[in-house]
Structure 1
Amino acid sequence: MTPPDPVSVPRSFLQEIFTHARESFPDECCGWLTGEKNSRTANGVRKAVNTYDKETHPTAKDRTAQTAFVISDKDLLELNQTLDDDIKPLIIYHSHPNGRAYFSETDRNNAVDPWGSGPAIQSSKS
């Protein structure tokens, strides 16, 4: 499979995601970047609620919202309902609050179609 073309993300959106991550600490934040249907440029940030601690995860009971994320039912429904819209999700993001910016084994395993063959961006801010 051919990797997807990179998505252009304005610096202001990265700052918004960094702020979301700081506000969510010590838990992981999550959300998605939106863009026009045939574009590879993000045009919005949609923050989501991480409900990991409020859910019983069937395969990772040893994890918490500090080490994993589950997008809330309400947010996930919205994400799914917009997949075919003119403005649609381009990238799902989440933070690693107590570590460096890297793609974990879980991240790599979950980065599958329709999102492409791998995570799109990696960012770290000191």
Structure 2
Amino acid sequence: METGTAQKTISLSFINDKSPITDSICKDLAASGMEILSRSESIEDGLSQLSSLNKLPKICIIDLDFYDRNVLAQLHILKTEYPSIKLIAHSDIDDEKVGKSLLDIGFSSYLLLGSDVEDFKKAIFSA
């Protein structure tokens, strides 16, 4: 007998530079029942992977060099092409200007390096 209270699995995609920290967070989120649909190392690769998926992720966690103007321009493209995907930034940059730029693009959350899996879960569930 189904009660109708079963939780839907949250689907995620990751776009990040090679990082053991992000690898660990990705593994921990997958172990907690979240579905990882794609992982890529650049926004360009991420866009390509997203276009080939049968279903889009609810959330995309991005850990890149947000000081790079090219990255910010690419993020605009990502948000324009996939407006339904919630974006969460993860970075070691603690800069108000960068944070504001990301919020202006449409990011839901900004997590600093050192955030643990529980911080990510809170950001994911509030997105």
TM-score, scaled relative to structure 2: 0.33
Larger RCO, structures 1/2 (Cα 8 Å, 6+ apart): 1
User: Between Structure 1 and Structure 2, which shows a larger proportion of strand residues?
Assistant: 2
Greater percentage in helix: 2
